[in-house]
Chain A
C-alpha cells in the first residue's frame, strides 16, 4: 500500500514539491532537487515518519551519489578519450631487430604504462626456440647455432625469474598472455646477451641491435658545390620524403644510431637551417629544415648522401611538392623527381602458426617456422625494392583462414602471397585459386561472394605467378604452376598467389642460400609486375 508524505512548505515551494511513494522508484536522479533542499527536508521528515524519513535520507544520499557518479563518469570518459590516441598508438607499437642474419619487426603491447614484447617472437629468427606455458609458469628453451641450450623461466605477475641457470629480475612484472610470454622491452638489453652470447644494444625508438654495430653518421655543410653532406659509416638506403621547408630521411633497414650529441644541429647557411634526429617505433628519422627545395644524391657506395639546393632551371621545373615523395631506390638523385608513392601493400602470409604446425619438414622442423623465416626474407627484399609490405603474422600465432583473408582484404592490398613448405618434390610450386574465372573485371560491389572473391582477379594472379615463375627459372630453381584449392586463396580480393617451397636437389629446404634466392626471385617477380598490379586495382 502506498504511503504519502507531504514535505514541509519551508523546504519546498509550490510546484517543486515532490511526492514520495513507497511504490515510487527508489533511486531517481532529479536535476531540480538540490543538496541543500534535501538537507533541510530530511530532519523534518524524520519527525513525521521515521520509516519514510529514512527513505528521504536514502534518496538524498543516492541523489548526491548519483550526481557525483555522473560527474566522475564524465571526467573518466574525458580522460579516456584524451588518452585514446596515445593508447591506439601504443597498440600499434613495434620493435625492430637488427641481427647479422636478418632484420625483422616484432609487435609490442602496452601494459600498465610499460611496453612489452613477446620473448619467443624476438628469439625465433635467431635460433631454435621451444616454449611451454603451465598455468602461471612459462618456460622457454633457446638454442642458438653452435651453442648450448639456455633456459628461461618466469611466472605471470612476478618480476623475479630464472635466466640461463641463475636468478634474474625484470624491471617490471612478467606477462603471460594467451600462452605467450612477454617481458618489458627495456629488459631485452639484459636478457638477450645471456641467451645469445652476443652484444645487444637497445637503441632509443625501439631498435634492438644484436651482434651488429650501429651505423654512425655526421653532417657537414660543403660550400663548393653547395650542399649538406651526410656521411655514414656503412651503406644506407633510407626512405626520403620532402615537404615544404623540410626533407626527411627515414632509416628502417639499417641500424643507424643517433650521434652522442643527439644529432640536432643549427647551420649558419642560407639554405640549410637546422637538423634534428628522432627515433620511434623501430625507425630513426633525420629531418633537415631547408629554406629552398633540395635534391638528394647518393655516392661512395651509398655511404654518402648529399642534399643540394635545386638550381634555377631545376626550380622552374619543380611543381608544387607532393605531401610525400619517397625515394625507393638510392640511384634516383632528385627527391622531387621521384615517382608518386604507392600506398598499397603486398600482404605476406606465412602459413600455419601457433598450434597449427603444418607439415613436418626434414630435421623435424615444422612448416610454420620455415614459412615465417621465408616470409621475413621476402618482406625485407620487397621493402628494399621500395614495395610496401604487411605481414599477416610476425610471431607464432594461431590464425584461421577467415582471419588471414580478412587481414589481406582490409589492407590496401597490391598483392597477396601465401608461403608454404613441403618435404616432397623439388623446387617451388606456385598456386593460384581453383575457381572459374569471372568475366567481370574487378569492381567494388556492395556485396561479394566470400568463396569467389578471387574470381575477378584470376588473370592478374596468373600474371603474377608467371612473373615470379620467370624469376625463379632465371635463378635455376625448378618451378611448377598449378591451380589449387589451397585456402584462403579463393577469399582474397586482390591478385593472390601461394608458394610451396620444397627442397632443392640434394639440399635441405632450410638452406639459407636457397631461401634467399627464392626470396630474391619472388620480390623481383612482384616488383616487375608492380605497375601492372597498380593499374589493375
Chain B
C-alpha cells in the first residue's frame, strides 16, 4: 500500500508537470507571434550590385497636403523597367513605415513599371495599393502626384504616365483620383511645384 505522503508527492509532481507544460506552450506561442509581427511587410527589390546612386523621391505629407523632395542613395539595376520598379518600391516602402506622413495600406506594392517608346511609363500597382488606399480627393492626388513626379524625375524623357491596378485598368484610385486617363507629366509637375 502506498503511503499517504507518497500519494501527495505524486499528485504535486503531476500537477507541476502539467503547469510547466502549459507554461512552455504559452512561451512557444508568444515567441511565434512576436516573430510574425517582426516580419517586414515592405516590398522587396531584387538584390543588385554596384555603386549606390543619388535618387530623388517626392514624398507626400498629409499634414499640410504638400509634397517634399528627399535625396536617397540607392543601388539601382541597369534596365529602365527594373530601375523604375526599384525607385517606386523605395517610395512605397517609405509610405509603409509606421512614421510615414502619408500612410498607404498594408501590402501596397508596385508590381511592375513598363516603358513604351521611352515617353510613356506604365505603373502597375497591386490590388492592396488601391483597395486599401484612403479615400479622399487630396490624399489620392498626393499619391498619384508623388509617384508620377518621382518617376519622371528619374526618367526625364517620360512625358506621360499611366496607372494599372493588378494589370487592369481601373476607374479611380479610391473613389476620386482618375486612373483611367493618362497623366501629363508637365501638368503633374506644375501641381507638385504648387504643393511644395
B95 at the interface (CB under 8 A from A): no
Q: How far is the CA of A484 from the CA of B183 in the complex (A)?
A: 11
**Nearest Cβ in chain B — how far from A528, in angstroms?**
24
Question: Could you say which residues of chain A place their CB within 8 Å of the CB of B135?
Answer: 358-360, 367
A318 at the interface (CB under 8 A from B): no
Given A359-B136, A486-B178, A500-B138, A401-B171 contact (CB < 8 Å): yes
B113 at the interface (CB under 8 A from A): no
A485 engages B177 (CB within 8 Å)? yes
B181 engages A420 (CB within 8 Å)? no
Q: How far is the CA of A517 from the CA of B126 in the complex (A)?
A: 41
Question: Could you say which residues of chain A place their CB within 8 Å of the CB of B166?
Answer: none
**Nearest Cβ in chain A — how far from B78, in angstroms?**
32
B65 engages A480 (CB within 8 Å)? yes
**Nearest Cβ in chain B — how far from A278, in angstroms?**
44
Question: Could you say which residues of chain A place their CB within 8 Å of the CB of B186?
Answer: 436
Given A434-B191, A487-B171, A482-B134 contact (CB < 8 Å): no
**Nearest Cβ in chain B — how far from A47, in angstroms?**
75
Interface locus among A303-311, A386-394, A423-431 = A423-431
Question: Could you say which residues of chain A place their CB within 8 Å of the CB of B138?
Answer: 422, 424-425, 429, 482, 484, 500
B62 at the interface (CB under 8 A from A): yes
A356 to B, closest residue via Cβ? B175
B187 engages A435 (CB within 8 Å)? yes
A435 to B, closest residue via Cβ? B187
Question: Could you say which residues of chain A place their CB within 8 Å of the CB of B172?
Answer: 401, 487
Question: Could you say which residues of chain B place their CB within 8 Å of the CB of A522?
Answer: none
A498 to B, closest residue via Cβ? B137
B112 at the interface (CB under 8 A from A): no
A420 engages B176 (CB within 8 Å)? yes
A359 engages B177 (CB within 8 Å)? no
State the main secondary structure of chain B at its contact with A: mixed
Q: How far is the CA of A436 from the CA of B178 in the complex (A)?
A: 15
Question: Could you say which residues of chain A place their CB within 8 Å of the CB of B184?
Answer: 434, 436
B144 at the interface (CB under 8 A from A): yes
Which of A360, A480, A483, A485 is close to B178, meaning CB atoms less than 8 Å apart? A485
A451 at the interface (CB under 8 A from B): yes
Q: How far is the CA of A451 from the CA of B183 in the complex (A)?
A: 12
Q: How far is the CA of A400 from the CA of B190 in the complex (A)?
A: 29
A352 at the interface (CB under 8 A from B): yes
A490 at the interface (CB under 8 A from B): yes
Question: Could you say which residues of chain B place their CB within 8 Å of the CB of A400?
Answer: 171
A400 to B, closest residue via Cβ? B171
A441-483 residues at the B interface, CB under 8 angstroms? 451, 480, 482-483
Question: Could you say which residues of chain A place their CB within 8 Å of the CB of B53?
Answer: none
A486 engages B187 (CB within 8 Å)? no
A346-379 residues at the B interface, CB under 8 angstroms? 352, 356, 358-360, 367
B178 engages A487 (CB within 8 Å)? yes
B65 engages A436 (CB within 8 Å)? no
Q: How far is the CA of A356 from the CA of B171 in the complex (A)?
A: 13
Which has the most chain A C-beta neighbours within 10 Å: B137, B138, B171, B187?
Answer: B137
Q: Which size bracket describes the interface of B in this complex? A: 20 to 34
Question: Could you say which residues of chain B place their CB within 8 Å of the CB of A483?
Answer: 187, 190-191
**Nearest Cβ in chain A — how far from B180, in angstroms?**
8
Q: How far is the CA of A487 from the CA of B179 in the complex (A)?
A: 9
A422 engages B136 (CB within 8 Å)? yes
Q: Quick one: CB contact mask for B159-196 with A, threshold 8 Å, 1 for yes?
A: 00000000000011001111011011011101100110
B141 engages A485 (CB within 8 Å)? yes
Which has the most chain A C-beta neighbours within 10 Å: B138, B141, B181, B184?
Answer: B138
A485 engages B136 (CB within 8 Å)? no
Q: How far is the CA of A490 from the CA of B187 in the complex (A)?
A: 14
B137 engages A431 (CB within 8 Å)? yes
Which of B139, B144, B181, B195 is close to A424, meaning CB atoms less than 8 Å apart? B139
B136 engages A482 (CB within 8 Å)? no
**Nearest Cβ in chain A — how far from B136, in angstroms?**
4
Q: How far is the CA of A301 from the CA of B62 in the complex (A)?
A: 48
A488 to B, closest residue via Cβ? B178
Which of A422, A436, A451 is close to B137, meaning CB atoms less than 8 Å apart? A422
Q: How far is the CA of A425 from the CA of B176 in the complex (A)?
A: 16
Question: Could you say which residues of chain A place their CB within 8 Å of the CB of B62?
Answer: 424
Q: How far is the CA of A401 from the CA of B194 in the complex (A)?
A: 27
Which has the most chain B C-beta neighbours within 10 Å: A400, A434, A486, A500?
Answer: A434
B136 to A, closest residue via Cβ? A422
Given A358-B135, A422-B139, A425-B138, A485-B144 contact (CB < 8 Å): yes
A485 engages B65 (CB within 8 Å)? no
Which has the most chain A C-beta neighbours within 10 Å: B178, B180, B186, B190?
Answer: B178
A482 engages B191 (CB within 8 Å)? yes
Which of B65, B180, B187, B190 is close to A425, meaning CB atoms less than 8 Å apart? B65
Q: How far is the CA of A341 from the CA of B190 in the complex (A)?
A: 40
B148 to A, closest residue via Cβ? A485
Q: How far is the CA of A61 from the CA of B165 in the complex (A)?
A: 64
Q: How far is the CA of A490 from the CA of B194 in the complex (A)?
A: 20
Question: Could you say which residues of chain B place their CB within 8 Å of the CB of A424?
Answer: 62, 136, 138-139
**Nearest Cβ in chain B — how far from A424, in angstroms?**
6
B141 engages A484 (CB within 8 Å)? yes
B136 engages A500 (CB within 8 Å)? yes
A43-75 residues at the B interface, CB under 8 angstroms? none
Question: Could you say which residues of chain A place their CB within 8 Å of the CB of B195?
Answer: 482
Q: How far is the CA of A524 from the CA of B137 in the complex (A)?
A: 24
Q: How far is the CA of A56 from the CA of B181 in the complex (A)?
A: 67
B134 to A, closest residue via Cβ? A359
B191 to A, closest residue via Cβ? A483
**Nearest Cβ in chain A — how far from B134, in angstroms?**
7
With A451-B181, A484-B191, A490-B178 known, 14 other A-B pairs at CB within 8 A are A358-B135, A401-B171, A420-B176, A423-B136, A424-B62, A429-B137, A435-B187, A483-B190, A485-B177, A485-B181, A486-B141, A487-B171, A487-B172, A500-B137
10 A-B residue contacts at CB 8 Å?
Answer: A400-B171, A429-B138, A436-B186, A480-B65, A483-B191, A485-B178, A486-B137, A486-B178, A487-B180, A490-B181
User: Which positions in B face A, CB cutoff 8 Å?
Assistant: 62, 65, 134-139, 141, 144, 171-172, 175-178, 180-181, 183-184, 186-188, 190-191, 194-195
